[in-house]
Every structure is written in C-alpha cells, then in structure tokens.
Amino acid sequence: MIKVYNGTTGKMAGTSHISVATGDPETCKRCKIGNICYAAKYQKLRPFVKESYLKNGIEITNRVYDISELPVVTNFQCRFNAFGEIYDGEKGDIQLTNYINIAKKNSRTIFLLWSRNYKKIETYFSNHIKPDNFKLIRSTSTIDKPIIVVPNNHIWDGVFNVVSKQFTANNNIKINCGMKDDQGKKYSCIECPTGCYHGNSGMIVFENVK
C-alpha cells in the first residue's frame, strides 16, 4: 500500500508527503545539485528512512491502483516527492496516474509536485488533466541558473530556483522560500506568505542553498 508520511518538522510541519527514494540513478540523472542535495544527506544519516522510501517507490510504480485502494490524506497540504523524482517510461506514467487519483480522492487537500523531469511531466500532462487541487512546480536542476518566467504555463504552475548566498547578493534577489517572521523564526510551508500551495499560478520562488 502507498504510504503517506506525516509528523514532519521544520519547513514541512503540518504538511504530509508521499515520497520515493532520492539517489536512484534512474530518477536523479538530470540533477546537477550534486553533493549539496539535502534529501541525499538526510537519507544517508537515516538509512531506515531511505529503505521506507524505496519500498514506497515500488508500491507507487507497481500498478495503477483502484481509487478505493489509495490512501486518505488527513492534512490540508501534501507534497508529492518531497524526496525522490518522477520516473521515466511506464513507471513514470503509473506514478503520475496514481498521484492524480490520490488528489482526486482527497479533494480537500492541496497537492504539489516539484520536478526536474521536465520532459516526462510535459509529455504526460499534454494528454492528462490535472485536478484543480494538484499543482506542478518546475525545479531548476542547476544552482545559480534561475528561471524567471514560467515555461509552458498551461502545465507548470510555478518555478523553484536554488541560488547561493553570493549569487543572491550579486543579483539583488529576494529570497521568498525560508523567510522568517518578525520573531526571526522561519515560516513552515503551511504558514509561508509566498503561498506555493494556495497562491496564484505563475509564482517564481527562490531559496538559498542549505
């Protein structure tokens, strides 16, 4: 059965996620983030977490489930692939179909999918309709090479850029992911005024390298 992960802290506090393992050559081959990848570092520190995500990836790409077999999400926000990526080929088709059906089953929850597998996403969603509660964010695959206009905006709802502090300073970039409140505490996604989950389409998001 596909597993929903709850009880996360920090940025993801109050947001569920459904993930597969990071570091699979089949899914991470396009990413040039390399040794600063937060997800890979986290999995290395917690091997049991990686094992769980590996098992979840098998479940998610094994077959298209009947709606009755899919999980119930209790939070109002859920992220697809907080860890991991969309597979190529038939496995990716199955993965995305299951994600769409999970969103349909849980219509009160807003689902977001960040992805660097641009070709797969655009090919799939050229022939499939996103539910209204499912948003797609295009993540740049390279640090300090931001995209400032949403490409193919009939498919993508926004862009997520990762930039270094030096690049941020040199280019006067406003960081709007990981912002702090008046007390100096970083906003969680559910509190964040940038509104990835509940804002309008066309958003351009910047986060500093962790």
Is 33 contained in some domain?
Answer: yes
Is 5 contained in some domain?
Answer: no
Task: Indicate the number of domains in the chain.
Answer: 1
- Domain that residue 110 falls in: 10-208
Is 3 contained in some domain?
Answer: no
pLDDT in tens, the chain (210 residues): 999 999 888 888 999 999 998 766 666 666 656 666 656 665 565 667 778 888 999 999 999 999 999 999 999 999 999 988 999 999 999 999 999 999 999 999 999 999 999 999 999 999 999 999 999 999 998 899 999 999 988 999 999 999 999 999 999 999 999 888 888 888 899 888 888 998 777 899 999 987
The per-residue b/e assignment along 110-148, b for 16 or more CB within 10 angstroms, e otherwise, is bbbbbbbbbebbbebbeeeebbebbbbbbbbeebeebee
Is 2 contained in some domain?
Answer: no
Is 112 contained in some domain?
Answer: yes
Is 140 contained in some domain?
Answer: yes
